[in-house]
Structures are given as C-alpha cells and as structure tokens.
C-alpha cells in the first residue's frame, strides 16, 4: 500500500464511506435552547411531585410548550431523566467557584454542602428511574464523581488550609456521607436533611478546633 494512502473505506479524517468528514452538529437556536431549559426545569418540578412516570403533557404544559416539542428534544423518558440529572450535577459543580469567590473558605464549603443537599432532595424524585437498571443511566455515577469530586475537593482544600476545617476527609468521603444523611426518613422532608448536614459541618469544624487547641 503506498505511503499516506488510507485503507479502503476509511477516510484519513476518521469518517467512513463517502470520504467526507462527519459534519459537526449545528448549534441550537436560541428558541430551541430556551425550550430545552424550560422543559428541564419543568421536568425537575414534576418529577419531584408526581414521579418520573408523570404524563408528558403535565411536563410540557408547565414548560409552556407542546408535547411534540418535548418528544423532539427527549424522545425517550430516560433521555429526559438523564438530562435532568446531569443538569443538576452541573449546576451543583458550577456553584463551587462562585461560592469560593463570594465567601470565606469555610463558609463557601458549608454553603456548597447545603446546595448539594438540595440537589440530593431533587434526586429523590428520580430514584425509581435511576435504579431501574436502564443502561441509559449507566454513565451517571461516573459523571457524578467526575464533576462533583473536584468541585468539593477544591472547597475542602481551601477550608482546611485556613485551619477552619479538618484535613483528613476526602471529597469522596463527604459526598457519600451527605448522601447517607439525605436518605428519606418517614414524615421528614428536606429540612430534616439540611439539619443533619449542618451537624456534619459542625463536626468538620470541631475536628480542626481540637488540633488547634
């Protein structure tokens, strides 16, 4: 085979068949992006009150769009559930730098942990779908740690560097600990979870105080 000649049927750019490179997906129009944002916010609210099997029309009506628009963007219910979950993960991760810029390290950490608690409360409404065994959700645990681990790790490191919180807790430890504290308790809501997480935050500070004493 002559040098610089690609094997039959394989384009040098990585596309197959016609030899033309695969075009990049076109960016969404502004109105399509607004519709998606509205649908994800509506789905989060509806899933929290009516569960993941809520009628599509309920979600579309709350978003102010037609059912056809919902199915055009999210053909399967699993597509919508996954997108709602990823949106929540991203919002929680992105809150880390903003909180760090606006607050002292220990306060930023405490506020982020409460933000994470609110996210876990939203996740309760998705539990039925997420634990269904649907392969559409297989990548979510990895995405969860990939996004939230570094976000919390930076906050923990900054707070520990000031001596205001203990330094022997990893981001993974804390993500799991808060998740366990946010497990549903009969007759209790998210306010109960917030109180328990506040106790955990006090424990992080108490350990640092003992070392400084």
Q: What's the total number of domains in the chain?
A: 2
Whether 92 and 197 map to the same domain: the answer is yes
Whether 111 and 177 map to the same domain: the answer is yes
User: For residue range 133-185, what is the model confidence (pLDDT) as tens digits?
Assistant: 889 899 999 999 999 999 999 999 999 999 999 989 999 999 999 999 988 88
CATH of the domain at 185: 1.10.357.10
Q: Is the Cβ–Cβ distance between 106 and 205 less than 8 Å?
A: yes
Q: Is the Cβ–Cβ distance between 76 and 134 less than 8 Å?
A: no
Q: Is the Cβ–Cβ distance between 121 and 190 less than 8 Å?
A: yes
Residue 17 lies in a domain: no
Q: Is the Cβ–Cβ distance between 176 and 144 less than 8 Å?
A: no
Please identify every stretch of the chain with a pLDDT value under 70, giving residue numbers as ranges. Answer: 1-28, 207, 209-213
> Last residue of some domain: 54, 75, 96?
75
Give, in order, the Cα–Cα distances in Å from 38 to each of 1, 54, 59, 61, 68: 55, 16, 9, 10, 14
For residues 62 and 41, what is the distance between their CA atoms, to the nearest angstrom? Answer: 9
CATH of the domain at 52: 1.10.10.60
Q: Is the Cβ–Cβ distance between 204 and 166 less than 8 Å?
A: yes
Residue 132 lies in a domain: yes
Residue 4 lies in a domain: no
Please state the three-class secondary structure of 110-147 as a single string.
HHHHHHHHHHHHHHHCCHHHHCCCCHHHCCHHHHHHHH
Whether 118 and 176 map to the same domain: the answer is yes
Whether 167 and 93 map to the same domain: the answer is yes
pLDDT at residue 26, as a whole number: 58
Query: H/E element holding 210?
Result: helix 190-212
Beta bridge partners of 10: 16
CB atoms within 10 A of CB 180: 10
Whether 97 and 192 map to the same domain: the answer is yes
pLDDT at residue 81, as a whole number: 93
User: For residue range 187-196, what is the model confidence (pLDDT) as tens digits?
Assistant: 888 899 999 9
Whether 47 and 92 map to the same domain: the answer is no
Whether 166 and 114 map to the same domain: the answer is yes
Q: What is the sign, positive or negative, of the torsion defined by CA atoms of 165, 166, 172, 173? A: negative
pTM to 2 decimal places? 0.79
pLDDT at residue 209, as a whole number: 58
Whether 102 and 52 map to the same domain: the answer is no
Whether 53 and 112 map to the same domain: the answer is no
Residue 128 lies in a domain: yes
Whether 61 and 139 map to the same domain: the answer is no
Whether 109 and 48 map to the same domain: the answer is no
For residues 39 and 62, what is the distance between their CA atoms, to the nearest angstrom? Answer: 8
Residue 66 lies in a domain: yes
pLDDT at residue 211, as a whole number: 55
Return the half-sphere exposure (C-beta side, CA atoms, 13 A cut-off) of residue 131: 6
For residues 185 and 34, what is the distance between their CA atoms, to the nearest angstrom? Answer: 36
Whether 59 and 164 map to the same domain: the answer is no
In terms of residue numbers, what domain contains 61?
28-75
Give, in order, the Cα–Cα distances in Å from 146 to each of 35, 77, 122, 170: 27, 24, 19, 14
């Amino acid at each position: 085979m002559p040098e610089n000649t690609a094997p039959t049927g394989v384009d040098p750019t990585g596309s197959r068949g016609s030899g033309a490179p695969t075009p990049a997906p076109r960016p969404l129009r502004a109105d399509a992006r607004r519709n998606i944002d509205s649908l994800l916010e509506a789905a989060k609210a509806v899933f929290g009150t009516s569960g993941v099997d809520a009628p599509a029309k309920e979600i579309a009506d709350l978003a102010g769009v037609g059912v056809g628009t919902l199915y055009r963007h999210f053909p399967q219910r699993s597509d919508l559930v996954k997108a709602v979950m990823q949106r929540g993960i991203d919002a929680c991760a992105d809150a880390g730098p903003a909180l760090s810029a606006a607050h002292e390290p220990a306060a930023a950490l405490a506020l982020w942990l409460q933000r994470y608690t609110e996210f876990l409360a939203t996740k309760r409404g998705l539990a039925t779908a997420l634990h269904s065994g649907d392969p559409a959700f297989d990548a979510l645990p990895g995405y969860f740690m990939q996004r939230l681990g570094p976000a919390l790790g930076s906050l923990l490191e900054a707070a520990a560097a000031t001596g205001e919180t203990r330094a022997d807790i990893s981001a993974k430890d804390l993500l799991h600990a808060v998740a366990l504290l946010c497990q549903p308790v009969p007759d209790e809501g998210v306010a109960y979870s917030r109180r328990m997480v506040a106790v955990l935050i006090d424990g992080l500070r108490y350990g640092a105080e003992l070392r400084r004493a």
